[in-house]
């Protein structure tokens, strides 16, 4: 579900749950910003009816009440929408406590701390170690990139952004005009998926390659936001994780651990070099370039040519 719609449904639910008397469509429209921006009355009515049906499908009990003057109003009584008491066993409480402790940085640290307090109130004892048998581990989602927080807010608020981005094979960064969709962490790195306006297509950006400040832009999105944004699958494909071929490379001894971890076979050649068989798909050429003189592609020939072309492009830059 798109964030904008989720926020609209949440605002409608809060209005209906927070009122002591039925609210008319007019009052709800004046209270919820998204409804004020709906345009015509017909557009608002269609949006409101869809939202009401969606909330009911999610389990919210919404009453329709007719006043003495014939006006229709809506409310969701708290006693009709109260959840049963939450009971957690020790394993469930520990698992939720662990999840709440993952976020330790930026704006999310406060929310995670509050969630952990609520979990303790719901059944996580003070003396229960959320890490269980793995207390030596310190689970975190790293957020070191300065671009993370402004991009997180831009994704939430559906605001276009502009930033300078340096590709792995480029000597200098280029300006990117992006409609951000989603952020996701994959193998220790944060990635942004969104619509690149200048290229007219979906793109995924690694946050560590964003240079300078992320600048917000006014205006609405020009491309439809997909219901499901496959950030990890896209990055995995570009990184060669979805493999349908095999490459043979020479790798300097003691270098390129990520490549060694992917290798299906490693042979010592002597003179400071090893030979590796690497399963790969789309994007391995860009990854190999990052290892510079520590990697030599032996075969296939087309992969070797792609790597050479990328290195020449960097040298010319």
Domain ranges of the chain: 3-80, 90-134, 148-237, 245-316
Domain 3-80: give its CATH code.
1.10.10.10
pLDDT-based confidence at residue 128 (cuts at 50, 70, 90)? very low
* Percent of the chain's residues with pLDDT above 90: 21
48 confidence band (pLDDT: 50, 70, 90)? very high
> Are the beta carbons of 62 and 74 closer than 8 angstroms?
yes
pLDDT on residue 142 = 57
* 29-33, 146-150, 155-159, 282-286: segment of lowest average pLDDT: 282-286
Kindly report, residue by residue over 231-247, the tens digit of the pLDDT. 777 776 655 555 678 89
The closest alpha carbon to 167, from 156, 175, 159, belongs to 175
pTM: 0.45
Q: Tally Cβ neighbours within 10 Å of residue 296.
A: 15
CATH 1.10.10 for domain 148-237: no
DSSP3 helix / strand / coil % (the chain, rounded to 5):
40, 25, 35
| Distance from C-alpha of 103 to C-alpha of 98, rounded to nearest angstrom | 10
How much is the pLDDT for 259?
Answer: 86
Kindly report, residue by residue over 143-174, the tens digit of the pLDDT. Answer: 567 888 899 889 888 899 999 998 866 778 89
**Which one has a higher pLDDT value, 130 or 310?**
310
Which helix (H) or strand (E) segment is 192 a member of? strand 189-196
Summarised one tens digit per residue, pLDDT across range 58-113 is: 888 999 998 777 889 999 988 888 766 666 676 676 666 666 555 555 555 555 55
- By the 10 Å C-beta count (0-12 exposed, 13-18 middle, 19+ buried), 1 is classed as exposed
pLDDT reported for residue 88: 67
Residue 56 has which token pair? 């009911």
* Dist. CA 289–CA 278, nearest whole Å: 15
pLDDT at 280 over 50: yes
């Amino acid at each position: 579900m798109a964030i904008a719609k989720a926020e609209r449904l949440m605002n409608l639910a809060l209005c209906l749950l927070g009122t002591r008397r039925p609210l008319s469509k007019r009052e709800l429209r004046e209270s919820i910003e998204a409804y004020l921006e709906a345009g015509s009355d017909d557009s608002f009515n269609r949006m409101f009816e869809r939202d009401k049906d969606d909330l009911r499908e999610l389990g919210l009990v919404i009453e329709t009440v007719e006043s003495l003057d014939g006006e229709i109003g809506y409310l969701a009584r708290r006693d009709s929408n109260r959840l049963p008491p939450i009971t957690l066993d020790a394993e469930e409480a520990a698992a939720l406590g662990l999840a709440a402790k993952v976020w330790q940085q930026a704006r999310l640290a406060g929310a995670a701390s509050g969630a952990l307090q609520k979990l303790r109130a719901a059944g996580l004892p003070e003396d229960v170690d959320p890490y269980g048998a793995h207390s030596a581990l310190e689970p975190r989602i790293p957020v070191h990139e300065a671009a993370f927080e402004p991009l997180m807010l831009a994704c939430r608020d559906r605001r276009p952004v502009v930033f300078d981005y340096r590709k792995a094979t480029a000597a200098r960064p280029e300006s990117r005009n992006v409609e951000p969709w989603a952020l996701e962490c994959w193998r220790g790195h944060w990635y942004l998926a969104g619509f690149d306006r200048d290229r007219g297509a979906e793109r995924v950006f690694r946050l560590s390659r964003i240079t300078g400040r992320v600048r917000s832009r006014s205006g609405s999105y020009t491309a439809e936001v997909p219901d499901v944004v496959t950030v990890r699958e896209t990055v995995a494909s570009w990184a060669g994780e979805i493999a349908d071929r095999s490459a043979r490379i020479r790798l300097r001894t003691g270098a390129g651990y990520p490549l060694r971890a992917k290798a299906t076979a490693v042979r010592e050649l002597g003179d400071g070099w090893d030979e590796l068989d690497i399963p790969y798909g789309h994007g391995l050429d860009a990854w190999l370039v990052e290892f510079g003189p520590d990697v030599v592609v032996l075969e296939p020939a087309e992969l070797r040519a792609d790597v050479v072309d990328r290195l020449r492009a960097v040298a010319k830059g």
